[in-house]
Amino acid sequence: MYTEKVMDHFENPRNVGEIPDADGVGLVGNPTCGDIMKIYLKVDNDVITDIKFKTFGCGAAIATSSMVTEMAKGKTINEALRLSNQAVAEALDGLPPQKMHCSNLAADALHAAIENYRDKQK
Ligand code: FES
């Protein structure tokens, strides 16, 4: 039911943890399943230089969090904002239809962290 890539990111998640002096933090939750995802960013010169996540959720939520952090690292803020849940799911070679909302959570947490970073710049 899950692709090899999903299983790999679930079993060996990348960029797990927190960044104590993060430049932006995004927290989102899914009201239906109760899963929660938090993403921390370090930004230098408009580029995401470090990113970490903590996810209290299902296997697909952990795999999509891991993948979204890999995809966002090294990208500019604008490039990272364009990362969609669809792109995250595709990078994992797909998710079962009933698990697509898990990738929404990952993209939303990234976007929330970027918004938080932008608010702090004002
Ligand atoms: Fe809720 Fe996966 S079941 S994020």
Confidence band, pLDDT 50/70/90 cuts, at residue 31: confident
- Phi and psi torsions of 48, nearest 5°: -75, 105
With a Cβ cut-off of 6 Å, ligand 1 is lined by 30, 33, 35, 57-58, 60-61, 99, 102, 105
Q: What is the pLDDT of residues 45-81, one digit of tens each?
A: 999 999 999 999 999 999 999 999 999 999 999 999 9
Just give the CATH number of 4-121.
3.90.1010.10
pLDDT at 32 over 90: no
Which pTM was predicted?
0.95
- Could you count the other beta carbons within 10 Å of the beta carbon of residue 119? 9
Pairing of strands 36-44, 47-56: antiparallel
CB 43 within 8 A of CB 24: yes
- Please report the pLDDT score of residue 21 as a whole number: 97
* Distance from the alpha carbon of residue 95 to the mean position of ligand 1, in angstroms: 12
- CA 118 from chain centre, in angstroms, equals 17
